[in-house]
Each structure stands twice: as structure tokens, then as C-alpha cells.
Amino acid sequence: MNSESPNNIDQHQQTARIVIVGGGVIGAACAYYLNQSGADVTVIDRGAFGQGCSHGNCGYLSPSHILPLCQPGAVTSTLKTMFQKNSAFSIKPHFDLSLFNWLLQFARKCNHKDMLHAGYARQALLDSSRELYLSLFQANILDDCELHTDGLLFVHDQEEHFHHYEKTDKLLQDEFGLAAKPFAGAELTELEPALKAGIAGGWLYECDSHVRPDKVMAAWKRRLEENQVEIIEDCQFQSIESSNGTVNGIQTSTGLIKTDQVIFATGALTPTLGKQLQASIPIQPGKGYSLTMPRPKVCPKYPMIFEEHRVAITPMDSGYRIGSTMEFAGYDSTIREERLELLVNGAKHYLKEPMAEPIQEKWSGWRPMSSDGIPMIGQLPKFKNAWIASGHSMLGLSMATATGKLVAELITQQTPHVDPTPYRVDRF
Ligand SMILES: Cc1cc2nc3c(=O)[nH]c(=O)nc-3n(C[C@H](O)[C@H](O)[C@H](O)COP(=O)(O)OP(=O)(O)OC[C@H]3O[C@@H](n4cnc5c(N)ncnc54)[C@H](O)[C@@H]3O)c2cc1C
């Protein structure tokens, strides 16, 4: 137990035992804030802690990513590109009813009103997470994460696309109070000399930061273990033991664990537990890739998204990463070389020195893509003491701290610091 607990859960009941299924960034943040509120927390993972989607992502903490993928016009543009061989966004043609339903739900959300609704819900978690992360970094609770707070550059190769973004910038300013700084032509290469000349321009979001995600997971692990949170690896959740809608324990691959509360922070795998959880969970695995290598000699200062190629790069203190692509191919974990080539070719288009040798890691991860672009955070309708924290799509790292705090507040019946309504599990 953590003796620093500010809102001791023992005020309400005897020390509650809480089991979190899933040791990704969401499970880790839930564990941290629940431990802070005085609970006795155990995290189980079917593999190793921090080795799921939270391991090799691009490391952006990006409050700029307010707008969801489901936007007006997204269906047409997606249909145009999804079956193209070299598209960053692809759907592997295969029969999958859950994917079909997910696409239908996604399509229904591609309108202005739902886009704004998702935007407000995302912004609340993104902004709060930013503040919480900065305080955790400043207090060295999360240490050695290679944090940089220079911002994030959205780079446009074509004039037309650079200027077209003015519309998005205006929408973000008017609706969400978020403004980017434009840098056209030579101004951009002056700001970021690692870029080739001749690129139309970029938009800088100074509110964004970046970290090395595997180091963040290592820091969470150190801190949780120091605070006596139990982490059990190679322990797979199998089923819920319950009576009258109250969970008493969970069956796992290593035996029964008794618990007062259970939280499923199982990322893209959450829908595979749907029968056990007795809920509709419209989440699809959106596969992305990354390549990690040493820093090139002409290493960018800024993390950048190359908009036309949908490729992202992350300069880290201890390395350099190229990432992205979105593939809906079910739970397929094969690393396809042609997808990695897309990343490299994208980076080559924009950067003077896009690569360095040797490649240290070729990685793929399943983003937990919710159909409406909003995470699912809240109580499972069929149980009094079972919860979900999943579906963070492309923003799990960026939204983790506020998610963890919110879950702790809901479970300990504190006033939530963000309105939990948009994230409710029973909205589908
Ligand atoms: C290429 C790429 C780049 C990205 N870049 C960014 C970025 O820059 N910024 C950002 O915010 N987000 C980014 N993301 C998204 C982000 O990585 C995810 O949203 C986030 O990692 C999801 O975290 P999670 O904890 O929900 O899932 P995970 O990290 O996948 O954790 C879930 C855990 O649950 C465990 N689990 C599942 N089922 C069971 C079971 N039955 N029993 C026990 N354990 C189980 C898994 O083993 C896993 O460890 C990116 C993703 C990709 C693929």
C-alpha cells in the first residue's frame, strides 16, 4: 500500500483489491492513480508489461489531435485509397462481420456534428493528460522518458494542401481554441533544417510534446513496483466469476484471482473478451508499423507528420523512429516488408537524411480503434464492479493519464475531473 494516498479508499470500505487486466499505458495509468487513492492494485498481462501497442508507437503527447478520423468526406477518401496497394491506409479484403459493422458505425459518424462531439470528448482527455504528464515528469515520478516539449510539425509537401489546412486550423481555433503556427517554404526549412528544400510548408503545434514510449513504460513499471503494485506477467484473463452481477474474481491462465473490482485495459484485444464482458465493443485492431534506428547525422529537431504520405518521424535522445500506416487486417501480427518500405519512402521524400543504420527494431502494433473515435471508459453495464478503459485509437499514450485518473475517480466515487458521459460503454 502507498502511504502517501491523498484520498484513501479505506474511508469507504476495507482496502479494495483491484485487478487491472492489461499492462499497456492505459492499464499502467489506471494502476498508478488507483494506487494513489489507496487501493491494493494488481496488474496482469498475458505477455510482458508494456509490450503491446504501447511499446513502439511514435511517442507523441499530442493535444493537437482533437479531430477524429470520422470526419465529413472521410468515407469517400477512405474508399478511394483503402484497396490501393501502396496506400498508408488499407483494408485487407477478408470476410469479417465485426469489421463490416465497425465500418458502418464509422461511416454514420462521418458528419460535422459527430466530429465536433468526438472532438470535445477527445480534447478533454488530451488537455488533462498533458497537464498530468507534465506534473509527473516534473516531479520525476515518471523519469528518464526523453521528454521534449518543442511541439509537433504537420508538414505539407504541396502548396495546395498546405493552404487547404487553413480551414482545419480555423475550425480548431473557432471551436476548440487551438491555434497552430504556419511556416511557409523557406521559413519551414529555416525552422527545421533537416527538411529538404522545396516543401510547401508546415503547421507547428507548440502544445505537443514527445517521449520515448518504451522508456515511459519502463518508468511506469519502476514507479508502480516501488509503490507495491503487483505486476503479474504471462497471466492471461480467461473468464469472470460473478454472482448477481457482482464480480468476485477472474479466472486466468495461472489460476483464480479474487477481486473487488476489475478493469479491462486490454487495448485492441478488448472485443475478443466481448462474450465474457457481455457488452458490445466496437473496437478494431488498426495495425501500424514503426522502424527504430540510431539518430541520423542530420537528425530533425522536431517530430513531424508528413501529411501527404501519412508518415511520422520521432527524433529521440537515444534513437530515431519512423512510424505510422493503418491497416485493418484483423489480428494479424506479421511484419510486412512492403509496409515498412512505405514508411522509408515517405521519409525519403521530405528529409535530407531519412535513415540511419542499423535498424534496431521492426515493430507492429494494433491500435484499439473505436468506431466513433472516442475511448470507452466506464462501467460494464452488466456488472456492478467491472470497468473498461480501452478504444483510445491513435492516442492511447496521449490520453493515458487523464484516463487513469478518471477511472480511479469513478471507482472511488470521487467527483470526476472530466465529464465521463461521452466515454460511457453503453453508448453503442
Ligand atoms: C505505429 C503507431 C504509432 C502510434 N503513435 C502514437 C503516438 O504518437 N501517440 C499516442 O498517443 N498514441 C500512439 N499510438 C496509439 C497508442 O500506441 C495506443 O493507443 C496505446 O498504446 C493503447 O494502449 P493500451 O494500453 O490500450 O493497449 P496496449 O498497449 O496494447 O496494452 C493492452 C495490454 O493488454 C494485454 N492483454 C490483452 N488481452 C489480455 C488478456 N486476455 N489477459 C491479459 N492481458 C491481456 C496485452 O498483452 C497488452 O499488453 C500509435 C500506435 C501505433 C500502432
SS3 per residue for 104-161: HHHHHCCCHHHHHHHHHHHHHHHHHHHHHHHHHHHCCCCCCCCCECCCEEEEECCHHH
Higher pLDDT, 227 or 2: 227
Site to probe by mutation for ligand 1, drawn from 397, 398, 399, 423 as the one with most ligand atoms within 8 Å of Cβ, is: 397
Percent of the chain exceeding pLDDT 90 equals: 90
- Supply the pLDDT for residue 128: 98
pTM metric for this prediction: 0.95
Taking residues 377-402, what's their average pLDDT? 98
Higher pLDDT, 75 or 171: 171
- The domain defined by 63-110+146-209+283-370 folds into D-Amino Acid Oxidase; Chain A, domain 2 (3.30.9)
Amino acid letter at 209?
Answer: S
User: Would you say residue 33 has pLDDT above 80?
Assistant: yes
3-class DSSP assignment, residue 243? strand
For residues 163 and 158, give the distance between their C-alpha atoms in angstroms, rounded to a whole number.
9
CA 219 to chain centre: 17
Can you spell out the DSSP letters for 27-49? HHHHHHHHHHTT-EEEEE-SS-T
Higher pLDDT, 85 or 42: 42
pLDDT digits (tens, 9 = 90+) for 290-338: 999 999 999 999 999 999 999 999 999 999 999 999 999 999 999 999 9
pLDDT digits (tens, 9 = 90+) for 177-219: 999 999 999 999 999 999 999 999 999 999 999 999 999 999 9
CA-based torsion, 161, 164, 167, 170: positive or negative: positive
Question: In Å, what is the CA distance from 119 to each residue of 102, 130, 147, 297?
Answer: 19, 16, 26, 38
Q: How far is the CA of 396 from the centre of ligand 1 (A)?
A: 7
Q: Whose CA is nearest to atom 20 of ligand 1?
A: 396
Lowest-pLDDT choice from 77-86, 189-198, 217-226: 77-86
For CATH 3.30.9.10, list the domain ranges present in the chain. 63-110+146-209+283-370
Q: How far is the CA of 392 from the centre of ligand 1 (A)?
A: 8
Residue 364, ligand 1, Cβ within 6 A: no
Residue 207, ligand 1, Cβ within 6 A: no
Q: Of all atoms in ligand 1, which is nearest to the CA of residue 364?
A: 53
For CATH 3.50.50.60, list the domain ranges present in the chain. 9-54+215-281+373-427
3-class DSSP assignment, residue 210? strand
Residue 65, ligand 1, Cβ within 6 A: no
Is domain 9-54+215-281+373-427 in CATH 3.30.930.10, yes or no?
no
Site to probe by mutation for ligand 1, drawn from 43, 57, 304, 316 as the one with most ligand atoms within 8 Å of Cβ, is: 57
User: Would you say residue 351 has pLDDT above 80?
Assistant: yes
Residue 323, ligand 1, Cβ within 6 A: yes
β-sheet bridge partners, residue 91: 328
- Give the model's confidence band at 72: pLDDT under 50 very low, under 70 low, under 90 confident, else very high: very high
Q: Are residues 194 and 298 in contact, defined by beta-carbon separation less than 8 angstroms?
A: yes
